[in-house]
Structure 1
Amino acid sequence: MIERRTMFKAAIAAGGAVVLTACSGDGDGPDAEAPPVEAPPEASITADPAPKTKDVPVTEPVKVRAAKGTLTAVAVTNSDGGEVKGELDDAKTTWTSSEPLGYGKTYTYTATATGGDGKNVELTGSFDTVKPAKVIRATLNPIDDAVVGVGMPISVKFDEAVSDRAAAQKALQVETSPEVEGAWAWLSDRQVDWRPKEYWPANTEVNVSANLYGVHYGGGRYGKTDVTTKFTIGRNQVVKIHTPDHVMKVYRDGAQHASYPCSNGKDADPNLNTPNGTVIVMTKEPTSIFDNERYGYTDVKKKWCCRISNHGEYIHENEENRANIGKRNTSHGCVNLFEADAKAYFDSAMIGDPVEVTGAKADFPTTSDVMDWLLDWSTWQSKSAL
């Protein structure tokens, strides 16, 4: 009896569960009831999108998950029998597709999982992706590997009008090295541009991603494909023209690099001014043909032409106006140079170089698709959709 009391006290010290074992384990009492044995778990499988789902977005990944078991096989195929790429996680419980889906297609999936009971379960099903009323193409400028001037904007243009501008803008990303402050602005319902707050720093590296595939622009219209570009900002060159001075000055990194006598638009007629404002070199054309029946000339050929607006202004040679170059403003809005000077400037110019004009009676109209620097920064920011 002394020995049994000692064992009982020890059991209390060790905890209640041990007390029960000690008291019933000597064979004197009735047999203890054994705890129920749980059956091994049976696996289950779910999928997202669920079977029979309609209008599935093409950019959302397909996910197949196993509960109380592991996936042993997953296959997702399109209506043509092509298999969708995907990856299984380390735990082998979730499979995720790794490529976008196609518009207006039916996808079928089959998945198998094994539970703790060693038995296999299977899930099969299908779903349909969204079918656009129309897909809209977008283009991106500057193009890959371009080297452009410090005033060059990034421009995304759409084939048709975009209703949901915010959705489109959210898909746009600009990365720069070094970091540059800038913003997107919608110049029309078919064009959104990004420009820096100030001119680009020279030699900036720029990467642009327009992840527009699958983006709903409104009215059942969706983005056709993603577009990207990678380009570089070149040296800093800026042209400055104060029209009453009859001189075009070229600056490099803030210091005057060259100076050329010029004849600008007629001072007396605002319709013929070389207008005030900051524009950029848009094209470089070794020769161009000028026509303006209103002012009595057609098929006039000029050399070393740099377009600076879609309003009709160029910087170009005009030897026929030699007597007025450097003395009087007599052009119809263009900047006239001697041929040798026009060639020298043409060779130095780069698409995207800023051209700053002051001193005229009229301002550049903001109707061109390249009007980015005609807007002050606060106005520019107000044109964002976000």
Structure 2
Amino acid sequence: MRRLLLVLAVVTVGLAGLMTVATAAGRIGGDAATPTLLAPKATVRYEPAAGAGGVNPAAPVAVTVADGTLDTVDLLNEAGARVSGALNADRTTWTASESLGYDRTYTWRGIATGSDGRKVPVEGSFATVKPSEKVRGTLNIGDGRTVGIAAPIQIQFNGHVRDRAAAERALAVTTSVPTEGAWGWLPDENGGSRVHWRPKEYWKPNTRVTVTAKLYGVAYGDGRYGAADVTSTFTIGRAQIVKADVNSFRMVVMRNGRQVASYPASYGLGSDPNRNTRSGIHVVSEKFTDKRMISEQYGYDVMEKWAVRISNNGEFIHANPASSGAQGSSNVTHGCVNLSLENARAYYDTALYGDPVEVTGTPIALSAKDGDIWDWTLSWQQWKGLSAL
């Protein structure tokens, strides 16, 4: 009996010991604090990368922080002036709002604070590309002008553009009236490349047109880069078309579909191919109250009144008293359209840059050899083939 009690006592003590250990183990596990996770440190990323060289000055410029916020950010040029820019609403990204300069070094300065509360510097620098040449583009139609319904938009570059596709992608034309059109690259002229935008058909009167050429920073190839953006907004005027049938010996002016004038005229001498007025759609490009006209081939040097240029091969609509006896009855000129003083002045006063002059009835066609604006001598498919895209 005593032996049985002794065994039970040992078992009871053993169970108590196990319960004590279990309770102690539970107490240790329950009271221990959960280890705290460390908050992440701020990570700053730069666009372009810090230390980069040859950066395009028109490329996006930004600094972004992950796991933190930007306290202060400055991007400084070599003179210590700040580049314009702004933080986003949650202060995680600063973006430059102005283009940078060519061949310059820019330095970041600022502070970011991480989620861990620690400060991280915004620092580093990068350098922009140094062009071998900065090429400028010039638009032919200025802001606020009113032009005729055949007016092409021209951008004349003062240097050669090898990568025409890159340049063309930077160009845009928007219109108040839906207008189909396309850019076409013409042979280099005046020491540089040139590109025209032509509508498929004549412009609709009163169309408002905006040209935007984002050329700054565009790489043209051979180390050349765009010097500046250019833009213009202008208006298409009334629909004035000159109908010039050389065999009628008259020049008819149509305005908005109605004939407003019919002048006796003399065109180029038909028996001399060099003196034929070229057939095709000419475009008024400039006009002069007085214009000196010289030809070494035909030996004349005269000053003519009310001269409206319709091509760069020497063709004008102008007054010429010397041919007054032929005006309305025969063609005797050196290729120009001759009118009386009174009629030439009347037409001169109505002519706008971009007005079409449709010459018909001669065997020699207007072509690229005749100078600047021969856009309308090509079919629409031929014109679209001049695009670089």
TM-score (norm 1): 0.91
Distance 2:201 2:367 in 1: 21
Q: What is the rounded CA distance, in whole Å, between the counterparts of 2:364 and 2:265 in structure 1?
A: 18
Question: Does the 8 A contact of 1:187 with 1:369 survive in 2?
Answer: no
Equivalent residue for 2:273? Answer: 270
CA distance in 1, matches of 2:284, 2:26: 103
Contact 2:267–2:333 (Cα < 8 Å) also in 1: yes
Q: Is 2:128 the partner of 1:129?
A: yes
Partner residue, 2:336: 334
The answer (yes or no) to whether the contact 2:173–2:212 under 8 Å persists in 1 is yes
Do 2:73 and 2:122's aligned partners in 1 also have CA atoms closer than 8 Å?
no
Q: CA deviation at 1:123?
A: 3.0
Task: Give the one of 315, 318, 333 matched to 2:317.
Answer: 315
Aligned equivalents of 1:350 and 1:134: distance in 2? 36
- Deviating more after overlay: 147-156 vs 28-37: 28-37
TM-fit CA distance, 1:35: 2.9
* Whole-angstrom CA distance in 1 between matches of 2:40 and 2:303: 86
- What residue in structure 2 maps to residue 51 of structure 1? 50
Answer yes or no: is the 8 Å Cα contact 2:269–2:335 preserved in 1: yes
Q: Which residue of 1 aligns with 2:284?
A: 281
* 1:3 aligned residue: none
Give the structure 2 partner of residue 344 of structure 1.
346
Distance 2:63 2:205 in 1: 49
Separation in 1, partners of 2:263, 2:271? 23
1:49-72, Cα deviation, whole Å (9 max, x unpaired): 222111011111221111111110
Query: Secondary structure at the residue paired with 1:231?
Result: strand
**Structure 2 residue aligned with 1:225:** 228
**1:378 shift after superposition:** 0.7
Work out whether 1:370 is the aligned partner of 2:367: no
Per-residue deviation, 1:34 = 4.2
> Please, which runs of 5 or more residues in structure 1 have no aligned partner?
1-25
Name the CA distance, whole Å, in 2 between partners of 1:267 and 1:274.
8
Does 2:275 match 1:258?
no
Residue of structure 2 equivalent to 1:22: none
Which has the greater radius of gyration?
2
Q: Conserved in 1, the CA contact under 8 Å of 2:153 and 2:196?
A: yes
- Cα distance in 2, alignment partners of residues 221 and 201 from structure 1: 37
| Equivalent position of 1:4 in the other structure | none
1:240 to 234, 237, 243: 243
Q: For residue 88 of structure 1, what is the aligned residue in structure 2?
A: 87
Structure 2: distance between partners of 1:129 and 1:303: 54
Deviation at 1:114, TM superposition (A): 1.0
Distance 1:239 1:119 in 2: 77
Contact between 1:46 and 1:123, CA under 8 Å: does it hold in 2?
no
CA distance in 2, matches of 1:224, 1:86: 22
Contact 1:265 / 1:330 at 8 angstroms: preserved in 2?
yes
- Per-residue deviation, 1:319: 1.1
Question: Per-residue CA shift, 1:277-300, capped at 9, x if unaligned?
Answer: 1011111111111111211212x1
- Partner of 1:174, secondary structure, is strand
For residue 362 of structure 2, what is the aligned residue in structure 1?
Answer: 360
- 1:1-386 mapped onto 2 (5 Å cutoff): 29-30=26-27, 31-32=29-30, 33-189=32-188, 190-298=193-301, 300-367=302-369, 368-386=371-389
For the residue of structure 2 that corresponds to 1:323, the secondary structure is coil
Size of the alignment, in residue pairs? 360
**In the TM superposition, what is the alpha-carbon distance from 1:365 to its structure 2 partner?**
2.5
State the Cα deviation string for residues 42-98 of structure 1 (Å, max 9, x = none). Answer: 222121222211101111122111111111011110111111111111111111111
| Equivalent residues of 1:324, 1:330 under 8 A apart | yes
**Post-superposition shift, 1:28?**
9.8
Superposed displacement of residue 113, structure 1:
1.0
CA distance in 1, matches of 2:217, 2:25: 76
Q: Which digits, 9 at most, give the CA deviation of each residue in 1:153-186, with x for residues without a partner?
A: 0000001111000011111111111121110000
Q: Which runs of 4+ in 1 moved over 6 A?
A: none
Separation in 2 of the partners of 1:213 and 1:305?
38
Per-residue CA deviation, residues 350-377 of structure 1 (Å, 9 max, x unaligned), is: 1110000010021113131211111111
Find the residue that maps to 1:183 and give its secondary structure: strand
Distance 1:43 1:259 in 2: 80
Deviation at 1:139, TM superposition (A): 0.4
Give the AA of the match of 2:240.
Q
Q: Supply the RMSD in Å over aligned alpha carbons.
A: 1.4
Residue in 1 that maps onto 2:4: none
Q: Is the 8 A contact 1:138 1:156 kept in 2?
A: yes
Q: 1:357 is aligned with what amino acid?
A: V
Contact kept, 8 Å, 2:319 with 2:339, in 1: the verdict is yes
Structure 2: 5+ residue stretches without partners: 1-22
